[in-house]
Chain A
Amino acid sequence: MNSDPHAKPPTPTGGVADLATADPREHIEPGEAQRPMTMSYVLFLCAFFAWGGYYTQRYSADYGALSYDENAGIGSGKVVAAKPVDPYVLGKRLFENVCAKCHQPDGLGLPGQYPPLVGSEWAQAAGPARMIRIALDGLQGPVTVKGLAFNNNMTPHRDALNDQQIAAILTYVRTQKEWGHKASPVAPEEVAAIRAKTKDRAALGSWTAAELLALPEHEPKP
């Protein structure tokens, strides 16, 4: 059995303790008289309060109602250039989060509901002109993909995705390695050009397969 449960630190009998109780008018530090608060503990407290004040002042973006970025005032000033992301990687991310919802992560779509992209002649067309239009303003009515008939509505992504994103997605789909796609990648400028050219298309509704097949695969240079 170990020794007495726990040795109570010796309380100062004479000296300071008696003095304190003797003369209440004299201002006494709380707790100091009986048992000296260990200095390390006091430093522990002060360290925290100091850090707290510093952190609050530094990361509160001077308490603005509309300042959400805690590093607003403090940034090193130079705008760190966003490192360019490889379109294939960006396209893969966006495909998985946006397009995969209907065309499925494996790109095979749902029979009778959502057309497949793997080995689809639309996705492997020489020029991206039709795909860009589909991505921008959607597709409606009957369409045959790999000989299978579909009749569903593809929703427009004109204001959901910007040019760089659409270009990245189309580049990814057209050059998907596992699917063995070897079509040409798409540049954001091409998407921008077609977006400008078809800016009133949104009001007319989505493309139909017939309209698209009538258009050339490569967008004629203006």
Chain B
Amino acid sequence: MLFVSSVIVLPVAALWALRWAVRHGEFKNLDKTALSIFDDEEPVGRMTDRFPDAPRNSKPSRS
């Protein structure tokens, strides 16, 4: 019983969720989220990791 009812309920819930997401623009301007991990402290375009012995703002260091 539980098995049969869930085989019906689950896909229906999934489709409803997908429809709701599309309705509410969950998939709109996704690429803005890609930028959400950057901010003024660590802006786009700045490397944030280097070897400890590499001089602070040097170009390539020893491999």
Q: Do chains A and B touch in the complex (CB under 8 A)?
A: yes
Interface pair A27/B22, CB less than 8 Å apart: yes
Question: Hey, what's the 0/1 contact readout for A27-64 against B, CB within 8 Å counting as 1?
Answer: 11011011100000000000000000000000000000
Distance of B25 from chain A, by nearest CB (Å): 7
Q: Does A21 contact B (CB under 8 A)?
A: yes
Interface size (A, Cβ < 8 Å)?
Answer: 11
- Bound-complex Cα distance A28 to B21 (A): 11
Interface pair B27/A31, CB less than 8 Å apart: yes
Which residues from chain A contact B21 at a C-beta distance below 8 Å? 30
Q: Does A24 contact B (CB under 8 A)?
A: yes
Interface pair B25/A24, CB less than 8 Å apart: yes
Main secondary structure of the interface of A (DSSP, over half): loop
Distance of A7 from chain B, by nearest CB (Å): 15
Distance of B58 from chain A, by nearest CB (Å): 16
- Bound-complex Cα distance A47 to B36 (A): 34
- Bound-complex Cα distance A28 to B23 (A): 8
- Bound-complex Cα distance A106 to B25 (A): 75
Q: Does B62 contact A (CB under 8 A)?
A: no
Q: Does B9 contact A (CB under 8 A)?
A: no
Interface pair A34/B22, CB less than 8 Å apart: no
Interface residue from A11, A21, A27 paired with B28 (Cβ < 8 Å): A21
